[in-house]
Amino acid sequence: MKWVSFLVWCGLLFCVRGSDVPCRQAGGTCQHNSLYCSGSYQRNMCAGSVRRQCCIPRRASSGSSHGSGGYNCYGNFMNLRPTGASAQTASQDGIRHGGVSASQTMVANDINELNKRKSCYIRAGNNNCVHPAVIAGIASRESRGGAFIERTGGWGDNHNAYGIMQCDGGASGLGELCTRYPWDSCEHINMMVEILLVRDIRTIRSKHPSWAPEQQLQGAVSAYNAGTGNVRSFRRMDVGTTGNDYSNDVMARAQYLVNRFGW
């Protein structure tokens, strides 16, 4: 009787595991549908409870002729001419001057940390049609790619922001969603790009329709730090951001990741 019960139990276990196959074949992940999904949930593709559904990530569209590969939906950020970091920001690394070269030095100092999770930046880029170098540029600026927050379990800004991309639950309106994924996970990086950066891109597009797509992208990067209401003009968009240089520093870092490190 025990042997029969064991066979039945194993058979059921096999069936439960095997029923996740349709989801995996579709490129998805089975999880509880209360969790964040970077695409859409599909039913009847996973084992277990009806609340356990298949999260299938959204695929990046081919977009316009700007940019490269699957990251071209928001213009070619390589066409931008960022002014780089302020002297205040550069002082983090003992650099006595600001400018593009300061941004380049700082991101070069972060390259080992950024390369550890390069696949995460690529994945988030593919999911959201944003160049991985731009995402990594934000990560470099926010947490030095994670190096600044490793000892605090992912917390920065006096325990007000969480993760490599530094999710501030109060300022962003995301609340407890900020801590839904591990601070150094691909899922957390992707969440911040999809929910915050892409949202800000759309807002800046509507607010400044005459700007070139890459200028709108830079505006969204500035808004990532200080909010879309702070982005009033292209030349002065960083006034009011941390160091008064946020997007110009991030974009200079991102361009160097492409030009120097092949991102």
20, 142, 184, 214: the catalytic one is: 142
Count CB atoms within 10 A of the CB of residue 179: 16
DSSP assignment letter at 23:
H
Q: Which residues pair with 262 in a beta bridge?
A: none
One-letter amino acid of 227: G
Identity at 158, one-letter amino acid code: N
- Vertex 95: Cα angle to 89 and 97 (nearest 5): 75
Catalytic-labelled residue, pool 93, 150, 157, 168: 157
Of the CA atoms within 13 Å of residue 225, those in its CB half-sphere come to 25
Torsions phi, psi for 99 (to 5 deg)? 110, 180
Antiparallel, parallel or unpaired: β 161-162 and 39-42:
unpaired
Number of neighbours of residue 62 by Cβ within 10 angstroms: 11
Q: Is 110 a catalytic residue?
A: no
**H-type helices in 85-242, by residue range?**
87-90, 100-116, 118-128, 132-143, 169-172, 186-192, 198-207, 213-226
Bridge partners of 99? 85
Sign of CA dihedral 197, 248, 139, 132: positive
CA distances from 86 to 49, 50, 115, 249, 250 (A): 53, 52, 25, 8, 11
For the question of residue 176 being annotated catalytic, the response is no
Active site residues: 142, 157
